[in-house]
Structure 1
Amino acid sequence: MMSRNWFITGTSSGFGRIMTERLLERGDTVVATLRRRDALDALQARYSDRLHVVALDVTDTQMVRQVVDQAFARLGHIDVVVSNAGYGLFGAVEEVSDAQIRDQINTNVIGSIAVVRAALPHFRAQGGGRILQLSSMGGQIAFPGLGLYHASKWAIEGFFESLVQEVASFGIEATLIEPGAARTQFGRGSMVMSDPLEAYQTLPFSARREVLAHESYTPIGDPEKMVHEMIASVDVSPAPLRLALGSDAYRLMHEALAKRLELLEAQKDIAVSTDASS
């Protein structure tokens, strides 16, 4: 297999860290970005010739542009950009603070868009490239208590639905990665929690808050297997627009899509009746 050059954001833990490790093991080259460079010191020492670690806060759009430009300049050619940086925010929409809302959108939406926008001119110049955007089953379904997280993922999915049509003629392809709950740090003590309001403590999602915040929370998804499929998707052409990972993702997304189609069909007559008569 021919080696590839990768640019990956959010590599200190979770999917980004695992992907970086697996790619280096198989002989690929990785530009790995994260907020704290020392989180990859051990890997850097082992793969100093093929791992380039760069500090990056994806909410700093100017910095994103500089880091992406420098990565393409250093390697000459980057095959795959993986926009992985992001996190979850839990809280009823009335509970989350204005600052928490801004941080969630700035990281998960604007940060992801900034990374892709910075890469596009380089991909066009080199005649193509592949983008893997970490979304979530939460970009197709919604749970109470995760309204702002869902807002960020539904937003990025709409962005990519449009983007892939704009850049197809340049040989640029993209895949939205939609994992279910996985055994990463995402929901095992690392999720940002809003300050609870008394009015919401008797509602069903209050129990979910306790589960997600607890270190013993063990989802069904195997992150190693998920990362394997993410990497393998780059060999598929044309690129799949979406990659669902996890039995929970498949089941819940299937149920949600079927229900939405059912509701749409029930409104067909109303929809048609509102067309202009001439």
Structure 2
Amino acid sequence: MTTSLTWIITGASRGFGRAIAEFALAGGDNVVAAVRNPESVADLAGAHPERFAAVEFDAADTARAQELVRASVDRFGRVDVLVNNAGRGYIGAAEEVSEADLRESMDLHLFGPAALVRAALPVMRAQRAGTIVQMSSQGGRLSFPGVGTYSAGKFALEGWSEALAGEVAPFGVRVMIVEPSRFRTSFNAPGTLRFAASRSDYADILAAVRADLAGADGIQEGDPVKAAELIVSLAHAERVPLRLPLGAEAVQRIGNAYRRGLEELDQWEEAARGTDFAGVPASVRPV
């Protein structure tokens, strides 16, 4: 890595965010860590006083997005990479999750990242360069019983980000949506992963899912350090993929989801095509 970049990373105190921050700093980059408690990254501040800054920040607090971007520009003069990493899982059936909890998940996984992107884009457009890294999940491409609340935010983030990628490409700004499987972060840790109160109607349906997610802490197959190395190297590369699955399970499960979707499309293609007006030419769209 020959050119130094300036990063803003939310949720940088642990997990993917911490690993990305450490690897970026090791390569000579500048890092602005957006964390709830700056003391959680005091060791990084001590080790890299000239290239690291910690900013107290709640990733769901959209009102402070501009302040965070200003802190990066004031300290390092630019913003090259924005990593929207902060997030948490919430497990429960649709009837078990309250509206307030669903909205909280959407605030964290969609509205918070969107506010930060809007705050950073004027800087990146002026630079004619920048990379936006949206930390999604394999749960942003497929879902299953019990994870609808989490997947809702990640599906929304991916759709919003896919449109964003086309909007900002003419300004030299890239978007990369990262879709990890199970990585050895604190995602599954007690007190981090949240569970809705179980209803008897869904107890048997979700029992295996609840047990699997609660029991995964510390045995996940994904290595956050290897993931961070790949993400940082891509931020320095000439090209980035729009979507980047991480981990063998993510590649397998997302691939299976695409294949099932194509099979279902083929199965219903004739009936679906038959719902158009007869004789009306197909629309011609700009994209």
Normalised to the residue count of structure 2, the TM-score between the two structures is: 0.92
- Provide the aligned C-alpha RMSD in A: 1.4
Displacement of 1:215: 6.8
Query: Could you tell me how far apart the structure 2 residues matched to 1:27 and 1:161 are?
Result: 30
Tell whether the 8 Å contact from 2:94 to 2:148 is kept in structure 1 after alignment. Answer: yes
For 1:185, what is the secondary structure of its paired residue?
A: coil
Note the alpha carbon deviations across 1:138-184, whole angstroms, 9 max, x for none. Answer: 11111211001011111011001100111111111110011111111
* d(CA) in 2 for partners of 1:155, 1:72: 29
Supply the distance in 1 between the matched residues of 2:24 and 2:129 (Cα, whole angstroms).
Answer: 20
CA distance in 1 between counterparts of 2:116 and 2:207 reads: 35
Q: Does 1:77 align with 2:78?
A: yes
In the alignment, is the contact (CA less than 8 A) between 1:58 and 1:114 conserved in 2?
A: no
2:20 counterpart residue number = 19
Aligned amino acid, residue 199 of structure 2: L
User: Any idea what the Cα deviations from partners look like across 1:53-80, whole Å, max 9, x if unmatched?
Assistant: 0011122212112111231232112211
Match of 1:172 in 2: 173
The runs of 5 or more residues in structure 2 that have no matched partner are 281-287
Tell me the amino acid that sits aligned with residue 99 of structure 1.
A
Q: TM-score, normalised by structure 1?
A: 0.95
Asked if 1 retains the 8 angstrom alpha-carbon contact of 2:79 and 2:120, the reply is no
- Note if contact 1:188-1:212 (Cα within 8 Å) is conserved in structure 2: no
Q: Is the Cα contact below 8 Å between 1:59 and 1:110 reproduced in 2?
A: yes
Report 1:1-278 matches (<5 A).
1-189=2-190, 190-203=192-205, 205-214=206-215, 216=217, 218-277=219-278, 278=280
Cα deviation 1:22-47 (Å, max 9, x = unaligned):
11122211011011111111211111
Question: What displacement does 1:229 show?
Answer: 1.1
Q: Is the 8 A contact 2:6 2:80 kept in 1?
A: yes
- Letter paired with 2:194: V
Residue 238 and residue 26 in structure 1: after superposition, are their counterparts in 2 closer, same or farther (change >3 A)? closer
> Would you say how many aligned residue pairs link Structure 1 and Structure 2?
277
How far 1:253 moved relative to its partner?
0.5
Does the Cα contact within 8 Å between 1:91 and 1:146 map onto a contact in 2? Answer: yes
- Give the share of equivalent positions with the same residue, in percent: 38
TM superposition outliers: structure 1 runs of 4+ over 6 Å: none
Contact 1:211–1:217 at 8 Å: present in 2 too? no
The amino acid of 1:16's aligned partner reads: G
Q: Distance in 1 between matches of 2:17 and 2:75?
A: 21
Cα distance in structure 1, aligned partners of 2:24 and 2:57: 20
Unpaired segments ≥5 residues, structure 1:
none
Supply the distance in 1 between the matched residues of 2:256 and 2:82 (Cα, whole angstroms).
31
- Contact 1:95/1:195, CA 8 A, preserved across alignment: yes
Q: Determine helix, strand or coil for the equivalent of 2:204.
A: coil
Confirm or deny: 8 A CA contact 2:105 2:153 kept in the other structure. Answer: yes
